[in-house]
Amino acid sequence: MSTNSCTPLDQRIKLIEQVSDLHEKEVLELVQTRIAINDNPLAIVEDCQEGLRLVGERYERREYFLSGLIMAGEIFREVMEIMTPLIEVSLYGSVSGTILLGTVKGDIHDIGKNNLKLLLTGYGFTVHDLGVDVSPVEFLNQALMLHPDIIGLSGLLTSSYDSMRETVQLLHASPDRIVASTPIVLGGNQLNQQVCNYVGADAWVTDAMTGVRLCQNILTGNTPAG
Ligand code: B12
Q: In this predicted structure, what is the pLDDT of residue 95?
A: 57
The residue type at 187? G
Q: Are 52 and 19 within 8 A, CB to CB? A: yes
Atom of ligand 1 nearest to the CA of 107: 78
For 45-90, what is each residue's pLDDT tens digit? 999 989 999 999 999 999 999 999 999 999 999 999 999 888 876 6
Domains, the chain, with CATH or none: 3-90 (1.10.1240.10), 98-219 (3.40.50.280)
User: Splitting the chain (226 residues) into consecutive groups of 10 residues, what average pLDDT does each group show?
Assistant: 63 94 97 94 92 93 94 92 83 78 98 90 91 98 98 98 98 98 96 98 94 91 60
Q: In this predicted structure, what is the pLDDT of residue 5?
A: 60
Atom of ligand 1 nearest to the CA of 68: 11
With a 6 Å cutoff on the Cβ, whether 191 touches ligand 1 is: no
- The Å distance, Cα 146 to ligand 1 centre, comes to 28
Q: Where are the alpha helices (DSSP H) in 91-207?
A: 111-122, 136-146, 160-172, 177-180, 193-199
With a 6 Å cutoff on the Cβ, whether 60 touches ligand 1 is: yes
Neighbour tally for 8: CB within 10 Å = 11
Q: In this predicted structure, what is the pLDDT of residue 93?
A: 64
Q: In this predicted structure, what is the pLDDT of residue 74?
A: 93
